[in-house]
Amino acid sequence: MSEAALQSLTGGNGALTWAYVDGAGDEPVPTREARRRTVRDALADAGAPDADIAAIDGALEDAGGVPSPSARYLAARGGALIVDEHFSGERLGPEELGHGPLAPLLPLLRHRSADLLYLVVETTRDGADLRLERAGRSREVSAESIEGRTDTLTKVRTGGWSHRRFHARAEETWKHNQSEVAEAVDRIVRERHPRFVAISGDVRARQLLLEQLGPTSRDRVVEVDANTRADGADDDALLAAVSETAEHLLDDAVSTARDRAAAGDRESGARGTAEVVAALQQSQVDTLVLDNRLLEADDTILALDAEPWVAVRDDDRLTAGTVATASVAEALARAAVLTGAEVLVAEERTEVGEEREERVPEPPVALLRWPAAAR
């Protein structure tokens, strides 16, 4: 989602009504209607105006064609819908339905962190299908196909000199086709900067393609050992590789930010609510890292209507007024958005059926734009 949409949710322009819910998917109409009725009732109980409820309900009437599971975030103000975001995959956190001066930002920020641009290349000896996609989204960004030469594609079994000649011609045809694919991949990587390139398809075609990719593209390759372009093939292996790679990149970004913030006796970092608030008040935060357990904590601080945007106590507000008392995670995230900082949430990876271990949340951490003053 755009920065403008995020900014519209930070308060200051009147009360908002919001709904962060499961997407409709392919569920029956009666089930969808019952869910919409539940949302309407919950928003009414939260004090939302009828016009806002009608705007959100009208948007929920359109399922959006997103496969299940999916998530949806909607926000309205003054009877007008100002945010309507669809995300593939399950909700990241609990359902959120409410009305007030501050809509929750963290559901959107968590989905946006996982919203990585990547390139899928499904290749065979006669060409390839290329798709730019976003993790966490249900629609491809762009797509193109490379149709290579089809003459002499099959190595014939004739034996002798004729066999070697046809064998060499077939190999040259495959190599020529993959050269065209490599040129297209290198161009897309150069122009669109996908975070990774997932390559699946025929084994020999993958080998030839990898040999001809430029170094920048090759460094981003995630090879999927499946011929997903074959007739009747499913894409389970490709989807699993994409999901695993996206999770790894997000986890790596969190680890890198934490390590850099801790380096040199935290010369370029802040740790704990008080230190992070002080850094945010100076617009000093480059990257804010929040433990996902912190999103569930009951501790609150102040969200302000002007700079410095956040305060721990009333006497820290300077000249700004209080918009609302908010959870620590939401107040910090809001101040980060308002000061142009990146927000990362350290997610927990659990297997299906695995119990979540009990632990206290890690304190918030900030990587700073310039070194901290001596503490």
β-bridge partners, 271: 365
Instruction: Please report the pLDDT score of residue 142 as a whole number.
Output: 67
Instruction: Please report the pLDDT score of residue 2 as a whole number.
Output: 61
pLDDT in tens, the chain (375 residues): 567 677 778 866 789 999 999 987 777 888 889 999 999 999 999 999 999 999 999 999 887 666 778 899 999 999 999 999 988 888 999 999 999 999 999 999 998 888 889 999 999 888 899 999 888 665 556 677 777 655 544 444 444 445 555 555 667 888 989 999 999 999 999 999 999 999 999 899 999 999 999 999 999 999 998 877 666 666 788 888 988 998 999 999 999 999 999 998 889 999 999 999 999 999 999 999 999 999 999 999 999 999 999 999 877 667 788 999 999 999 999 999 999 999 999 998 766 667 777 888 999 999 999 987 655
**Per-residue pLDDT tens digits for 194-231:** 999 999 998 999 999 999 999 999 999 999 988 776 66
Distance CA 176, CA 293 (A): 52
CA distances for 79 relative to 54, 55, 202, 238, 351, angstroms:
7, 6, 53, 42, 41
Distance CA 288, CA 337 (A): 10
312, 277 contact by CB (below 8 A): yes
Residue ranges of domains in the chain:
1-104, 117-233, 251-375
Query: Which positions ≥6 away from 106 have C-beta within 8 Å?
Result: 93, 290, 295, 329, 330, 333, 343, 345
Instruction: Please report the pLDDT score of residue 153 as a whole number.
Output: 42
Rounded (10°) angle between helices 106-113 and 328-338: 70
Instruction: Please report the pLDDT score of residue 154 as a whole number.
Output: 45
Which pair of tokens denotes residue 109? 């920020």
pTM attached to this predicted model: 0.85
Instruction: Please report the pLDDT score of residue 256 as a whole number.
Output: 96
Distance CA 34, CA 43 (A): 14
For the domain 251-375, what is the CATH code? 3.30.1330.30
Instruction: Please report the pLDDT score of residue 12 as a whole number.
Output: 66
Distance of CA 83 to the CA centre of its chain: 17
Q: Report the topology of domain 117-233.
A: Nucleotidyltransferase; domain 5 (3.30.420)
